[in-house]
């Protein structure tokens, strides 16, 4: 029997967020980690999946450390997922569009002040 655990962050987002926080380009990250810019791009665009040691090296090159661990399932998240799936596709699309609009407004507000 196979089980799947949804990660809190996708691997690609960990790499791009760490790089963004470090204030470096894909090329700079590639040089620091001993790889190529196209490889970093492929990881960040979910075209390739790095091994855990490679992921740790990429994050280390950004000045952060990879920490893995186990935790109990988030029952609130599971309930929210079930509730979302019970809604119609149109309703889910509308909700996501509203969330995107809100995030854009928040980001715009952060840049204004």
Between 4 and 111, the higher pLDDT residue = 111
> pLDDT by residue (tens digit) across 5-23?
344 568 889 999 999 999 9
State the DSSP H helix or E strand holding residue 110, giving kind and residue range, or none if neither: helix 89-112
The reported pLDDT for the residue numbered 71 is 79
The number of residues in the chain equals 113
DSSP string, 34-99: TS-HHHHHHHHTTSS---HHHHHHHHHHTT-----------HHHHHHHHHHHHS-HHHHHHHHHHH
> pLDDT by residue (tens digit) across 66-105?
988 887 877 888 888 888 889 999 998 998 899 999 999 9
d(CA 41, CA 47): 8
Between 59 and 7, the higher pLDDT residue = 59
Q: What is the mean predicted confidence (pLDDT) over 12-37?
A: 95
d(CA 39, CA 46): 11
CA within 13 Å, CB half, 55? 19
């Amino acid at each position: 029997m196979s089980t799947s655990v949804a990660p809190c962050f996708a691997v690609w987002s960990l790499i791009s967020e760490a790089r963004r926080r470090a204030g470096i380009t894909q090329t700079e990250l590639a040089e620091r980690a001993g790889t190529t810019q196209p490889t970093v791009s492929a990881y960040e665009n979910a075209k390739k999946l790095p091994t855990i040691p490679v992921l740790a090296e990429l994050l280390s090159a950004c000045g952060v450390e990879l920490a893995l661990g186990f935790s109990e399932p988030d029952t609130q998240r599971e309930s929210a997922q079930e509730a979302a799936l019970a809604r119609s596709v149109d309703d889910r699309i509308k909700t996501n569009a509203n969330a995107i609009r809100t995030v854009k407004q928040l980001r715009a507000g952060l840049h204004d002040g």
